[in-house]
Structure 1
Amino acid sequence: MSTASSPQTRRDARRRPARRRGVSVIGVIGDLLLTAGVLVLLFVAWQLWIGDAIIGAQYKNEANSLTEQWATDPPPPLPSPSGSPTASPAPTAPATADPPALPQPGNGEVFGVMRIPRLGADWQFKLAGGVSSSVTLDPIGIGHYPDNAMPGQVGNFAVAGHRGSHGAPFADLPSLRIGDAIVVETPDGWYTYRYRNLEYVQPDGVGVLLPVPQADQVEATDRLITMTTCSPRYGFSERAIGYGVFESFTPRANGAPASLTSGAA
């Protein structure tokens, strides 16, 4: 007897519907895990890039609003040669080498706006007391280490900012060049520092906060700024530290200093 199938049998076999695969529990779990992974990646992308851009723009707008408010307020009088305020400050008075001293701010108290032209014409973030994430860095921008020197004072004006979240004000800190302007604006006027150098330290390297950074028990004679942030940008294994040296104070009555537009020396 022949075992070959007839043409009719082959046609019937072709017409039979293919068996459907049964839906397995493992397959469902795999699909769910894949979907969860995509959602996690989208969330990370939001946190690392999109969220930073949106929050950063918000913080820059808030800082700009504050500087506009200071611009419309009457400028404080300039000191006369005798030390008392003059009734009508000269609008062309030179920038002073001995700037007014600011009081230590309270935790989360905004006292200034930092601007770094090298990082963009719109780069500006509010400065407030303290360096805790919950009170200062996350909701405001840049924080001042308590009890360190204030802008323009002899010693170390040390501040901190995020590099990879909450607007990331110091995201591009390592890209600064020697001589770049770092300007701190307050109601009294503008304190201009010039960028000097960058170094990397361990997370516990608190010597950068000393009056003379990394020099214990040395009396300060210079006016310095120290900017601290995490390194790498989305990691915590090191700290990137940017240093600058005080150049001048420009009273508000003089108008904005050239350092805001020239950026670098």
Structure 2
Amino acid sequence: MIRRAVGVLGELLVTAGVLTLLFVVWQLHWTDLTSERAQAAAVDALQERWDATPAPTASAAAPTAPTAPTAPAAPAVPDVDQSPPTGDAFAIVYVPRFGSDYAVPVVEGIGAEELEDGIGHYPGTAMPGGVGNFAIAGHRVTYGKPFNRVAELQEGDAVVVATAERWYTYRVRRHRIVSPTAVEITAPVPDRPGEQPTEAWLTMTACHPMYSARERYIVYAQLESSQDRAAGPPASLAAVG
């Protein structure tokens, strides 16, 4: 009787181990495959929609101060002045450091469902190009892992955000590792709650360390320049750094 019970227990443990392994494979690989396809389709859909509605020319677009080589440009008036409905894709992020084929949609919201669809935008934070803090979140593993290589970003690297009307080039300024409760990272002036913003920032957040949610990896980037979408992609997309 005892031998039979031990045998049954052993079979149950083996079955549980197989099921756990299958779950890990699904979580780490299958979700990547399905999410990458869905995110690529979302990028294509955004680009097709934008192409169907020609962007305004320089004379019609919001003016932007000239960019000085040693100082960030004055923030442009964003073409998106309010947050879209939760789950809607409204922008595309390009990071040359991550490869020439890196293009991920930005969707409104940072819930589990939104982060399966791409990079999530923190509700209530600035929109692309706007004064304040355009704060976004992405997975480092699973569901397309758009921020898998976030720790590889270097000071001066470009993070380019495309919207229906404009391209925005941000430059990486610094990194931080914080606790999940560090809400100051999404303040209008990053790390300075209550301070009035005068510049445009981008904050990228991801879980840290890899395969853990114990901390958050943070990258801050500052707006360098913007240009009409009609003018074509910015030069910042052509090279790393």
TM-score, length basis structure 1: 0.78
What is the CA-CA distance between 1:47 and the residue it aligns to? 0.8
Match of 2:92 in 1: 113
Corresponding residue to 2:111 among 109, 132, 141:
132
Corresponding residue to 2:181 among 184, 191, 204:
204
Corresponding residue to 2:11 among 21, 31, 36:
31
Partners of 1:160 and 1:75 in 2: how far apart?
Answer: 29
TM-score, length basis structure 2: 0.85
- Is residue 167 of structure 1 aligned with residue 165 of structure 2? no
Given that 1:51 and 1:167 are in contact with CA atoms closer than 8 Å, whether structure 2 keeps it comes out as no
What is the CA-CA distance between 1:132 and the residue it aligns to? 1.7
Partners of 1:59 and 1:261 in 2: how far apart?
Answer: 25
Partners of 1:154 and 1:100 in 2: how far apart?
Answer: 8
1:243–1:228 CA distance, 2 compared to 1 (3 A): same
Q: One-letter code of the match for 2:179?
A: Q
- For residues 196-252 of structure 1, the C-alpha deviation after alignment (integer angstroms, 9 at most, x for no partner) is 221011111000011111112222122110011111222111111111011111211
Matches for 1:1-265 after TM superposition, within 5 Å: 24-48=4-28, 50-70=29-49, 72-80=51-59, 85=60, 98-101=75-78, 102-104=80-82, 105-134=84-113, 136-138=114-116, 140-264=117-241
1:59–1:196 CA distance, 2 compared to 1 (3 A): farther
Q: Which ranges in structure 1 are unaligned for 5 or more consecutive residues? A: 1-22, 87-93
Q: One-letter code of the match for 2:191?
A: Q
Match of 1:12 in 2: none
1:256–1:174 CA distance, 2 compared to 1 (3 A): same
- For residues 116-164 of structure 1, the C-alpha deviation after alignment (integer angstroms, 9 at most, x for no partner) is 1211222221112222223x212x2111112211111111111111222
Match of 1:14 in 2: none
Q: One-letter code of the match for 1:130?
A: G
- For residues 2-31 of structure 1, the C-alpha deviation after alignment (integer angstroms, 9 at most, x for no partner) is xxxxxxxxxxxxxxxxxxxxx723213202
Partners of 2:193 and 2:47 in 1: how far apart?
Answer: 41
Q: One-letter code of the match for 2:171?
A: R
Q: Which has the larger radius of gyration?
A: 1
What is the CA-CA distance between 1:52 and the residue it aligns to? 4.2
RMSD: 2.4
What is the CA-CA distance between 1:114 and the residue it aligns to? 0.9
Report how many residues are paired: 229
1:194–1:116 CA distance, 2 compared to 1 (3 A): same
What is the CA-CA distance between 1:56 and the residue it aligns to? 4.2
Partners of 1:56 and 1:160 in 2: how far apart?
Answer: 15
Given that 1:196 and 1:243 are in contact with CA atoms closer than 8 Å, whether structure 2 keeps it comes out as yes
What is the CA-CA distance between 1:67 and the residue it aligns to? 4.9
Moved more, 38-47 or 234-243: 38-47
Match of 2:70 in 1: none
- For residues 86-121 of structure 1, the C-alpha deviation after alignment (integer angstroms, 9 at most, x for no partner) is 9xxxxxxx8885534212222122211111121122
Given that 1:60 and 1:123 are in contact with CA atoms closer than 8 Å, whether structure 2 keeps it comes out as no
Classify the secondary structure of the residue corresponding to 1:174: helix
1:261–1:63 CA distance, 2 compared to 1 (3 A): farther
Moved segments of 4+, more than 3 Å: 94-98
